[in-house]
Amino acid sequence: MASPDDTTVPGEDFIDTLAPAPPTAPRVDLRSQSDAPDRLVFFFSGFDPKSATFYHRLFRTGIAQRNAAHDETLALGKRHRIGRWASVWTALWRGASSALGGRPVAMRTRVHFMRWDDIVQRHWRRAPLTLARDYWNIYAGGLGSGVLRRIWRTAPAAFWLAMLPLIVCVLSFATGLLVIGGLLALSGLMSALPTAALGLVVGALLWRLMARRVDCEWLLRLYAFMRQQALGQVPALDARLDEMAAHMTEAVEARMRQPGAAPLREVLLVGYSSGSIMSAAVLARALPKLSEIIGNRRANKATTLAMVTLGHCIPIAAEWPGARRVRNDLEALAESPLLTWHDYSAASDHAAFWKAAPWPQPALLKGYQASPLFPTTSSAWQLAGTRRDRRETHLQYLRPPRARGDAGAYDFFTLACGPQTLAEQHARVGSTSDLREKTPS
């Protein structure tokens, strides 16, 4: 079996998107003798059948755009596949020492793409009976259990997006009954019962046509799948999460044991969209072992443990009455003083729970929340019905800033690949409370 970090090879090919940083005086540094990463990132994508290839390409284009507007440079290594589901690539941050406040010139980050899109693909297309079950479980079950009511209180925009498939369904059937059935009834061509039946048939056809046209059932699929996962009804994903936790601890241990390497500075999990649910679940599974490894300050005093969630939607899993494991996992993370957890969920992302903390409170972890100022011209209804707007709004979490901004502005590549660990950035903001950036009204 391949080592969790078997892509660490001398002379790894990098996609260099800009000229190197200005030369600096030679430094005596173990990193000049070793290509061991300073940071291990474990990236969890959302409920989307896009593979590691898509996200590696997204990194590459984002790095090229960022390099064009910043003094520092980022270089990206090739993507390598490990085993059945994991992929890795390396990013190298370079900048003059003066620009980094005396920090080392280079920061090497090894990104592990924690794949579950193959499981998503098996649940992406819904047969008619499965779709009917989803409608029943989410709307009847969600209303009856109070889940949708709690989501409405926490995130009204996310609630209305979740309700949109039901609204389209009801309006389509109402149109069929009132327009087709009403016209036939008034004309006297058919009796009441056949007229109503024909109206229902027309309404059903209109419903399926409109649902496909505006792609309004994407969030229903997400809610239904996350409900199943929260209730322990997706055994393939549960097994994958266990494998991911084992992979992560093996990768950390392998890096710690790498001879001649400088200390590992950070273990960082990044949960994007519904990947925030996956990252929390994996970290909770791995936390006892990671606490033992990282908590041994005599051996690993330089290593920090951190997680970043982007556009989180954790309540769609945690709020279900039977989701005890999800809530227990979140409580375990909240009680870990080793963990630094930052959440960036934009007010313009109507599917995100930007007003809700992803962790239970009170908490011992070092937490911080912010709402990035992403440009948007879409209302919640436009976002629901326009696939391109929805995709672009959500992808802004993974794109570089359009221009050089202040040091505190949201920048994904600084968080994931930059010269400071999340714990060091947290020391700069200096609070465990909700410090959201002001968002435009």
**Domain range enclosing 394:** 14-18+34-121+245-429
Helix axes 156-175, 218-230, angle to 10 degrees: 120
Domain match, 198 and 280 both: no
Q: Is residue 42 part of a domain?
A: yes
Average pLDDT over residues 222-249: 97
Q: Is residue 225 part of a domain?
A: no
Q: Is residue 232 part of a domain?
A: no
Residue 153, judged by CB atoms within 10 A of its CB (0-12, 13-18, 19+), counts as exposed
Q: Is residue 26 part of a domain?
A: no
Domain match, 255 and 361 both: yes
Domain match, 290 and 414 both: yes
The pLDDT value recorded for residue 433 is 47
Rounded CA-CA distance 325/172 in Å is 38
pLDDT one-digit tens code per residue, 245-258: 999 999 999 999 88
The pLDDT value recorded for residue 126 is 78
Question: How many residues does the structure list for the chain?
Answer: 441
Q: Is residue 47 part of a domain?
A: yes
| 75 φ/ψ angles, rounded to the nearest 5 degrees | -120, 150
Domain match, 268 and 176 both: no
Lowest pLDDT segment from 47-56, 74-83, 134-143, 210-219: 210-219
Average pLDDT over residues 221-226: 96
Cα–Cα distances in angstroms (integers) from residue 437 to residues 266, 358, 430, in the given order = 25, 17, 15
Domain match, 268 and 203 both: no
Q: Is residue 290 part of a domain?
A: yes
Q: Is residue 106 part of a domain?
A: yes
pLDDT one-digit tens code per residue, 164-178: 999 999 999 999 888
The proportion of the chain whose per-residue pLDDT surpasses 90, expressed as a percent, equals 59
Domain match, 289 and 382 both: yes
Domain match, 416 and 313 both: yes
Structural domain count of the chain: 2
Secondary structure of the chain as H, E, C letters: CCCCCCCCCCCCCEEECCCCCCCCCCCCCHHHCCCCCCEEEEEECCCCCCCHHHHHHHHHHHHHHHHCCCCCEEEEECCEEECCCEEEEEEEEECCHHHHCCCCCEEEEEEEEECCHHHHHHHHCCCHHHHHHHHHHHHHHHHHHCHHHHHHHHCHHHHHHHHHHHHHHHHHHHHHHHHHHHHHHHHCCCCHHHHHHHHHHHHHHHHHHHHHHHCCCHHHHHHHHHHHHHCCCCHHHHHHHHHHHHHHHHHHHHHHCCCCCCCCCEEEEEEECCHHHHHHHHHHHHHHHHHHHHCCHHHHCCCEEEEEEECCCCHHHHCCCCCHHHHHHHHHHHCCCCEEEEEECCCCCCCCCCCCCCCCCCCCCEEEEECCCCCCCCCHHHHHHCHHHHHHHHHHHHCCCCCCCCCCCCCHHHHHHCCCCHHHHHHHHCCCCECCCCCCC
Domain match, 88 and 168 both: no
* Arithmetic mean of pLDDT over the chain: 84
Q: Is the pLDDT of residue 8 over 60?
A: no
Lowest pLDDT segment from 101-105, 124-128, 319-323, 407-411: 101-105
Domain match, 92 and 131 both: no
pLDDT one-digit tens code per residue, 373-407: 886 545 544 444 445 566 677 889 999 987 666 66
Q: Is residue 272 part of a domain?
A: yes
Domain match, 187 and 249 both: no
Average pLDDT over residues 140-165: 95
Structure-token match 């991911």, residue found: 244
298 or 152: which leads in pLDDT: 152
Domain match, 104 and 71 both: yes
Rounded CA-CA distance 168/163 in Å is 9
Domain match, 313 and 406 both: yes
Residue 247 has which token pair?
A: 């992979």
The proportion of the chain whose per-residue pLDDT surpasses 70, expressed as a percent, equals 79
Rounded CA-CA distance 283/358 in Å is 14
